[in-house]
Amino acid sequence: EAQVTQNPRYLITVTGKKLTVTCSQNMNHEYMSWYRQDPGLGLRQIYYSMNVEVTDKGDVPEGYKVSRKEKRNFPLILESPSPNQTSLYFCASSSTNRAEQYFGPGTRLTVT
């Protein structure tokens, strides 16, 4: 089954404790991206990747890092999480940067 998976689905952590949210797709897509969704603000892109070893900032990259060492994986790293990073995070992939995107199920992160 073609899908995008994210782990963990739910995470409660404390300020400053490094964490990684994994994202994996099995569709051989070149383009992957991370979004956060907050009430009243909609989906905002954090980082995206056009292909392996190619990543770039989206609209709200501050406080996040990503890597793309393999085509299928695109982890999101929060080196020092802060409460303002409490949000619902979605990973997405698409065959090209102009095609429709397929989203993972989301990761609900709470930073206290």
Partner 1 sequence: RKEVEQDPGPFNVPEGATVAFNCTYSNSASQSFFWYRQDCRKEPKLLMSVYSSGNEDGRFTAQLNRASQYISLLIRDSKLSDSATYLCVVLGLGGGSYIPKFGRGTSLIVHP
Residue choice 41, 79, 80, 84 for contact with partner 1 (CB under 8 A): 41
Please tell me the distance from the alpha carbon of residue 67 to that of residue 55, in angstroms, as a whole number.
7
For residue 50, the surrounding DSSP H or E stretch is strand 42-51
Farthest-apart Cα atoms in the chain, separation: 37
2 binds partner 1 per the rule CB under 8 A: no
Nearer to partner 1, 92 or 111 (CB): 92
Question: With respect to partner 1, which residue has the nearer C-beta, 3 or 80?
Answer: 3
- Cα separation, 65 vs 74, whole angstroms: 10
- The footprint of partner 1 (CB under 8 A) covers 33, 35, 40-45, 48, 50, 56, 58-59, 88, 90, 97-106, 108
